[in-house]
Structure 1
Amino acid sequence: MIVELRTYHCAPGRLPALHDRFTSITLGFFDKYGIKQVGFWTNLSGPTNQSLTYLLQWESLAERETKWNAFQADPEWVEKRNATEAHKIIVERVEVQFMTPTAYSALR
């Protein structure tokens, strides 16, 4: 198993728009492409409260490449994502890390 850690850093005040995009658009495309989410989090404290962090679970990097690339290339997804940012950008920066569990991890 591989876990992908993704953190989206939003433009000031745009976190609610990102939440809305995930709940009304993105999660449907995740289901369509078999992208398994582990969970989503926002910051209660720290340097910013304008970010969303989430985890995706993959069997392999090959599975991730196939499913993520298909999702990103879906014309309907591209159209809907662009429409949500037509007047103002939502995400300024994305950080991505791939992690593999240790032998003693509860999640393996």
Structure 2
Amino acid sequence: MKRRDFLTSSLAASTLALASQPQSGVAQSPAAAGPREYYQIRKYHMQSGPQTKLTDSYVADSLIPALNRLGIAPVGAFHLDLGPETPTLYLLLPCSNLETLVNVDLRLAQDEQFMKTAQPFWSAPATAPAFIRMESSLLAAFEGHPKLTPPPSAAQHGKRVFQLRTYESPSDADHVRKVEMFHHGEFEIFQKAGFDQVFYGDTLIGPRMPNLTYMLSYPELSDLTDKWKRFSSDPDWKKLSSSSRYSFEPIVSNVTNLILSPTAYSQI
């Protein structure tokens, strides 16, 4: 099967989670404007030592500028602070053009400026690799939050902390219901609780599907507990989560919860 055909079929299957939900009365988040984006999440697994500096230099000086030239922006770059397998560098690549995003490495190889500056990373010897392994996932933005929204402090490179959460569901039907919950009030509950909502994505290609991933931001890590208390005690959340459509069985079977800090060169 050709890559384009495969992506098309994968996209069609995943967006069932949006297409099959009731649309009447659906409130959209403030970010809901224009065509929705696609996201690639990359994880570079590394070892402590010289390779972390090599990878940071590559991403900051070569990769992000080249991605921006392709129209992929803003690019997020984060170190994993709390979670398994540290050190790990997370990259978030948003783009409204799916074709550009899935062919990004081929496009980069055609960029002479990139290839020149990226050479130490791309051609690192097997005896001193730049990273251990790289994993990636492809996501489609939720219709109700179609564009990535950097926190206000990102423009000034102010202090900020990120929470990356992935919800796995036991079945496609339960996944549909969980995506639907966000569109039927959950966005607004997050907003009332004071969260900075960065993105929401439905996984098209990646591990442990069906699942969705979203990112929240805080000025300080200490804000996390307070905001989640506000969220869980909100009457609208209690009403939504106790609805028979969503509470008849556990529609989320596993939650992955990571705390990330932005690198000095992150654009988010």
Question: TM-score interval w.r.t. the shorter chain?
Answer: 0.7 to 0.9
Tell me if the contact between 2:163 and 2:215 (Cα under 8 Å) persists in the aligned partners: yes
Alignment of 1:1-108 (within 5 A): 1-13=160-172, 14-83=174-243, 84-107=245-268
- The DSSP-based 3-state class of the residue aligned with 1:61 is coil
Shifted more, 33-42 versus 43-52: the winner is: 43-52
Amino acid at match of 2:231: F
Compute the TM-score of the two structures, normalised by the length of structure 2.
0.38
Note the residue ranges of structure 2 that are not aligned, 5 or more in a row.
1-159
**CA distance in 2: counterparts of 1:72 and 1:26, whole angstroms:** 11
- The DSSP-based 3-state class of the residue aligned with 2:205 is coil
Greater Rg over alpha carbons, structure: 2
Offset at residue 79 of structure 1 (A): 3.1
**CA distance in 2: counterparts of 1:12 and 1:97, whole angstroms:** 23
Q: Paired residues, what number?
A: 107
- The DSSP-based 3-state class of the residue aligned with 2:265 is coil
Shifted more, 9-18 versus 68-77: the winner is: 68-77
Tell me if the contact between 1:38 and 1:57 (Cα under 8 Å) persists in the aligned partners: yes
**CA distance in 1: counterparts of 2:223 and 2:191, whole angstroms:** 15
Offset at residue 45 of structure 1 (A): 1.5
Offset at residue 81 of structure 1 (A): 0.7
Offset at residue 48 of structure 1 (A): 3.7
**CA distance in 1: counterparts of 2:226 and 2:194, whole angstroms:** 11
Offset at residue 64 of structure 1 (A): 1.6
**CA distance in 2: counterparts of 1:75 and 1:106, whole angstroms:** 35
- The DSSP-based 3-state class of the residue aligned with 2:222 is helix
Match of 2:36 in 1: none
Note the residue ranges of structure 1 that are not aligned, 5 or more in a row.
none
Tell me if the contact between 1:42 and 1:49 (Cα under 8 Å) persists in the aligned partners: no
**CA distance in 1: counterparts of 2:231 and 2:216, whole angstroms:** 14
- The DSSP-based 3-state class of the residue aligned with 1:99 is strand
Deviations 1:39-95 (A, max 9, x none): 011222123431000000110112221111111122441232122433232111111
Amino acid at match of 1:88: E
Amino acid at match of 1:19: V
More strand by share: 1
Tell me if the contact between 2:168 and 2:209 (Cα under 8 Å) persists in the aligned partners: no
Tell me if the contact between 1:8 and 1:93 (Cα under 8 Å) persists in the aligned partners: yes
- The DSSP-based 3-state class of the residue aligned with 1:26 is helix
**CA distance in 2: counterparts of 1:16 and 1:67, whole angstroms:** 26
Amino acid at match of 2:167: Y
- Overall identity of the aligned pairs, in %: 30
Compute the TM-score of the two structures, normalised by the length of structure 1.
0.88
